[in-house]
Amino acid sequence: MYRIILLLIIFGMTSCSSQPTAEVVTAIAALPTPDANWSLTMTQSGGIMGLMRSITLNSDGEFSATDERLSRTVTGHLTNNEIAEIQSLVANMQYTETSHPNAVCADCFVYEFQIQKGNERLFIQVDDITLPDSGLESLASILVELLNAKLR
């Protein structure tokens, strides 16, 4: 019994901890303004359950949501309000590249964003530790909500 409790304590201390260090901000960049044809893909992977989910959508509202673990893909069309909200978030967001050099988070989710407008393409990868300081937390939150709703 004591071994199990000790293992749980050790696991909890190592799985998602961050030593107090100064945050290093290496770049601030405006995301491509999606005022024409554009596409956006977010992949959410990792966590204790080993998720591998993604959502791809474009400026005309078409979307595709996939859960690799469940071998499930759903396609459809977002409402005008949903697409306007996402377009507004992307157009007004400032991405801040951050690093937490001593951060360890074995069970974090990793979020990969691909934003394309014309020939302009931006690839960003953040995790649960760097997401709050990246400027992408609101976008990730809305896209995760869409994944949850569409993959039910």
Region 67-83: mean pLDDT is 95
Which residues, at least 6 apart from 125, have a Cβ–Cβ distance to it below 8 Å? 110, 111, 112, 113
Give the model's confidence band at 76: pLDDT under 50 very low, under 70 low, under 90 confident, else very high: very high
What is d(CA 76, CA 123) in angstroms, rounded to the nearest whole number?
24
For residues 136 and 71, the answer to whether their CB atoms sit within 8 Å is no
At the topology level, CATH places domain 2-150 in Mago nashi protein (3.30.1560)
Alpha-carbon 92 to chain mean position = 17
Bridge partners (DSSP) listed for residue 60 = none
pLDDT for residue 107 = 86
Residue type, 21: T
Indicate if the pLDDT at residue 78 is higher than 80. Answer: yes
Given pLDDT bands bounded at 50, 70 and 90, which one contains residue 1? Answer: very low
- pLDDT of 128 > 60? The answer is yes
pLDDT band for position 35 (50/70/90)?
low
Residue 36: pLDDT band (50, 70, 90) is low
Mean pLDDT of 61-84: 95
